[in-house]
Chains A and B, each alone.
Chain A
Amino acid sequence: MDPILRIDDLCKAFGGIVVADHVALSIAPGEILGLIGPNGAGKTSLFNLISGVVAPDSGKIHLEGREIDGLKLHDRARAGVARTWQHMRLFRTMTVLENMLVGPRGYPGESLLASVLGTGRVRRAETDACDRAMSILDRMGLAATAEHIVVDLPFGQQKLIGLARALMNDGRLLLLDEPMAGVEGSNYLTMQRVVHDEAAAGRAICVVEHNVGFIKDLCTTAVFMAQGRILQRGTVEELTHSRELTELYFGTAEAH
């Protein structure tokens, strides 16, 4: 099966700090790939390179066979790169539903004139987007929060809404930056279930997490990064049992 994301020989340095050192990586449909590694390994930087927040120094990024490394941030989202943020970055003055409705790709309401005139096409797109937003929220048990200002909700629910908003993009690639950190109880289980469902629906998912336990709960495969390099790829079990890598991560040879 052709991979959804393919990265070849990607390099990026900020001055003397190398965040991507000849990174090569591919993610297949249905795969949930965990990125693990110590702080400063370049995990979030890799997300920023894929989603277009920063431009690479060299290397290629292909999404479903299409070269996207030259595209701007918003054009990559339109090409189908959906991402979440470690600190969520929700639109804090807006309701949950409004947050969701900024998410769809190629929204006709983007046109000022169409928006002012409220043409039939805009109204239909609006209705469709509302329906889709509500069904995503419903899957997460959050339909009742739709009209709440997003920052009034508990932290765990905000994390879920960060994922929900990214799902509005409906892209084939989903990048999740620490989706589980600080999420507990039923919200944790919801996050796990939704991520698994999205993979089953054929998306390629990449997850950054510090907690190896979370990675075990979420991911099918994982790569270990340090100093901008991918050191090893394998199942989560293989990586966490590798003596060399656990030493790099934890500083001791204690198997996890």
Chain B
Amino acid sequence: MEYLASTILLIGIFVILAASYNLIIGYGGLNTVAHPIFFALGAYTSGLLGAATGLPAVVCVLAGVAVAMAASFVLAITTLRISGDYLLIASLGFQLGLLQLVNNVEFTGGPAGLSSIPDTFAGPGRGAIYVVICTAAAALVVWAIWRTMNGPFGRAVRAMRDDELACAALGRSLIGMKIRIFALGCGAAGLAGGIYAYYFQYISPEQFQVAQSAEILTMVVLGGIGTTLGPIVGALVLVVLPQAINFLHLPNGLVGPAQGIIFTALVILFLFLRPGGLVGTAGAGAAH
């Protein structure tokens, strides 16, 4: 039962991460790899605050969201001067640098991680409560992104992705839109981090490495970049599939390589054969 709950919870967490990453990279066309760090900021802020002050979990998680949003502002203003591949490199520096900081300061627990996060909703129904909260949070995030991208604001964002100069010459403030896109997307990642920290009660820097953005990107591409349902489908497939591989009872030494080969093959196959992803129409996902 607990196994099922943690699997569903992970699906919810990755739905939030994939949907918010899709907002930034798929709809906004802002090439960043610094998504796991905002997941980490949410997790560490809420975990540390909860451990140190004993404030209610809701407050701590919201503080995590706020910190992730505030940090995203730094990334957003770098886009004033750089974009495209250069933004990718700057975001890589942002991700690696901040995670190094988490790894090397004392109060985060360093590489050993943080394990003193208070147990909230202790009891037999704990897993079920978290599943409900996480599913509701995922639904809220997906809904908010869907509303955003299907309204006038989203239209202007898609216009910016298609042609920045033409969009600005029509009176749209590019930096204003980028700040909002990053704040919404990174804030959502922070929310995922808070729920993750409170549920698992243990976080460490290696859970938020840059390679994780490849995993989230795989979900986005597989499901359908620039679509509402794509990240949900992608997260579902890529959380469940590795668990399914575990049930094949392969020799231990083969599980890791098998997963790596399958995921890499999936990304390559999808990019060649179905760039729109599982839910996108063929070709429609060509956002860049």
Q: State the CA gap A93–B155 with chains docked (Å).
A: 11
Residue of B nearest to A151 (CB): B162
Distance from B165 Cβ to chain A, minimum over Cβ atoms (Å): 7
Contact (Cβ within 8 A) B172 A112: no
**Cβ-based interface call for B147 (8 A):** yes
Q: State the CA gap A171–B177 with chains docked (Å).
A: 23
Distance from A52 Cβ to chain B, minimum over Cβ atoms (Å): 8
Q: A102-B172, A115-B147, A169-B171 are in contact. Are A89 and B163 (CB under 8 A)?
A: yes
Report which of B154, B158, B169 forms a contact with A53, defined as CB distance below 8 A.
B169
Q: State the CA gap A160–B48 with chains docked (Å).
A: 58
Contact (Cβ within 8 A) B168 A122: no
A contacts with B, residue count (CB < 8 A): 40
* Interface membership of chain B positions 181-201, coded 1 if the CB is closer than 8 angstroms to chain A and 0 otherwise: 000100000000000000000
* Interface membership of chain B positions 144-169, coded 1 if the CB is closer than 8 angstroms to chain A and 0 otherwise: 10011001111110110111011111
Q: A77-B171, A91-B159, A106-B171 are in contact. Are A53 and B165 (CB under 8 A)?
A: yes
User: Which residues of chain A (107-133) have a CB below 8 Å from chain B?
Assistant: 107-112, 114-116, 118, 122, 125-126
Contact (Cβ within 8 A) B153 A111: yes
Q: A78-B171, A90-B166, A110-B172 are in contact. Are A101 and B152 (CB under 8 A)?
A: yes
User: Which residues of chain B (261-288) have a CB below 8 Å from chain A?
Assistant: 284, 287
For A101, what are the chain B residues with a Cβ–Cβ distance below 8 Å? 152, 155
Residue of B nearest to A129 (CB): B152
Most buried by B among A85, A105, A115, A122: A115
Contact (Cβ within 8 A) B153 A102: no
Contact (Cβ within 8 A) B155 A98: yes
Q: State the CA gap A122–B148 with chains docked (Å).
A: 13
Q: State the CA gap A109–B154 with chains docked (Å).
A: 9
**Cβ-based interface call for A33 (8 A):** no
Contact (Cβ within 8 A) A73 B169: yes
* Interface membership of chain B positions 173-184, coded 1 if the CB is closer than 8 angstroms to chain A and 0 otherwise: 110100010001
Distance from B79 Cβ to chain A, minimum over Cβ atoms (Å): 15
Most buried by B among A53, A108, A110, A118: A110
Report which of A77, A89, A118, A165 forms a contact with B147, defined as CB distance below 8 A.
A118
Q: State the CA gap A83–B170 with chains docked (Å).
A: 8
For B144, what are the chain A residues with a Cβ–Cβ distance below 8 Å? 116
Residue of B nearest to A116 (CB): B147
Contact (Cβ within 8 A) B166 A91: yes
Q: State the CA gap A91–B156 with chains docked (Å).
A: 10
Distance from B169 Cβ to chain A, minimum over Cβ atoms (Å): 6
For A107, what are the chain B residues with a Cβ–Cβ distance below 8 Å? 152, 156, 171
Q: State the CA gap A53–B168 with chains docked (Å).
A: 9
Residue of A nearest to B163 (CB): A89
Contact (Cβ within 8 A) A105 B156: no
Q: State the CA gap A101–B152 with chains docked (Å).
A: 8
Q: A92-B162, A116-B144 are in contact. Are A102 and B151 (CB under 8 A)?
A: no
Contact (Cβ within 8 A) B172 A74: yes
Q: A89-B166, A91-B162 are in contact. Are A74 and B152 (CB under 8 A)?
A: no
Report which of B154, B163, B168 forms a contact with A77, defined as CB distance below 8 A.
B168
For B162, what are the chain A residues with a Cβ–Cβ distance below 8 Å? 90-94
Residue of B nearest to A89 (CB): B166
Q: State the CA gap A85–B153 with chains docked (Å).
A: 23
For A114, what are the chain B residues with a Cβ–Cβ distance below 8 Å? 153
Q: A73-B169, A77-B170 are in contact. Are A93 and B158 (CB under 8 A)?
A: yes
For A109, what are the chain B residues with a Cβ–Cβ distance below 8 Å? 151-153, 155-156
For B153, what are the chain A residues with a Cβ–Cβ distance below 8 Å? 109-112, 114-116
For A90, what are the chain B residues with a Cβ–Cβ distance below 8 Å? 162-163, 166
Distance from B27 Cβ to chain A, minimum over Cβ atoms (Å): 10
Contact (Cβ within 8 A) B170 A165: yes
Most buried by A among B162, B170, B180: B170
For B168, what are the chain A residues with a Cβ–Cβ distance below 8 Å? 73-74, 77
Distance from B22 Cβ to chain A, minimum over Cβ atoms (Å): 15
Taking A110-B173, A110-B176 as given, write out 9 further A-B residue pairs in contact, using a Cβ cutoff of 8 Å, ordered by the A residue number: A73-B169, A74-B168, A74-B172, A85-B166, A91-B163, A103-B170, A105-B171, A114-B153, A115-B153
Closest 7 CB pairs of A and B: A109-B152, A115-B153, A77-B171, A115-B151, A89-B166, A91-B162, A102-B159
